[in-house]
Amino acid sequence: MTVAMDGPPGVGATAQPAPAAVGLRRLEPGSLQLRRGPRGEVRLLLPDRCHLAVTLTRAFPLSRPGGWIAIRERDGAEVGLLPDGACLDPESRTCAEEELRLRYFTPTVTAILDIRDEVPGGRGGGAIWELETDRGPATLHMPNTNEHVQTLPDGRILLTDRAGNRYEIAGLGDLDPASRRRLAQFVWL
């Protein structure tokens, strides 16, 4: 039995069971095709079946973004796991990369302009973050900073707003001193 690693070997990596060990179908890159349908949906063509509308998600989006890709029916039913999208034929690889780029759209924070209580007086429990990103200005409504500010082992910081949108701080050195002071209110630096 093979294992997939959730993270680089020796750096907090944990062994994960191979797909077959947990009842999942392993999809081989050479035996499938991903194509766009007439309305932009992703179609999965297998030797034994055609799935007319599927979604693609990363199995380990934070620690192994280039690794395993889960392919599901639109209703959430698991079709299988693809070990590596880089081995797909060029058209399938382009389709997968476009779909995953849309799903995991994560602007990079370049400055934290302001953080204030969502409700004046601080009784709402939430905060409004005014940011500058590589995609322009952004306003995050964050209901709970304890759960929506995540420091990753590699030093990146993820901010998630109420709607599930994610923003990334690549590293503290990328922020100006005023932004770092604002962030220090919520993250141990």
Structural domain includes residue 188: no
Query: What would the pLDDT profile of 119-140 be if each residue is shown by its tens digit?
Result: 765 566 688 999 999 999 999 9
Percent of the chain scored above 90 by pLDDT? 49
Residues 10 and 98 in one domain: yes
pLDDT band at 85 (very low <50, low <70, confident <90, very high): confident
Residue-range definition of the domain harbouring residue 97: 3-103
Q: Considering the chain, what is the average pLDDT of its residues?
A: 84
Residues 163 and 124 in one domain: yes
Query: What would the pLDDT profile of 30-48 be if each residue is shown by its tens digit?
Result: 899 999 999 999 999 999 9
Residues 39 and 89 in one domain: yes
Q: Is the pLDDT of residue 67 over 90?
A: no
Average confidence (pLDDT) over 9-27: 56
Nearest Cα to Cα of residue 60 among 153, 141, 136, 144? 153
Specify the number of domains making up the chain: 2
Residues 11 and 89 in one domain: yes
> What is residue 189's predicted lDDT score, i.e. its pLDDT?
65
Q: Which residue would you say has higher pLDDT here, 94 or 16?
A: 94
Residue 100, token pair as written in the block: 């995953």
Structural domain includes residue 189: no
Percent of the chain scored above 70 by pLDDT? 84
Separation of alpha carbons 60 and 109, rounded Å: 22
pLDDT band at 63 (very low <50, low <70, confident <90, very high): confident
> What is residue 49's predicted lDDT score, i.e. its pLDDT?
92
Which of 48, 81, 103 terminates a domain? The answer is 103
Residues 76 and 165 in one domain: no
> What is residue 182's predicted lDDT score, i.e. its pLDDT?
93
Which pTM value belongs to this model?
0.59
pLDDT band at 141 (very low <50, low <70, confident <90, very high): very high
In three state form, how does the secondary structure of 10-76 look?
CCCCEEEECHHHHCCCECCHHHCEEEECCCCCEEEECCCCEEEEEEEEECCCCCCCCCCEEEEECCC
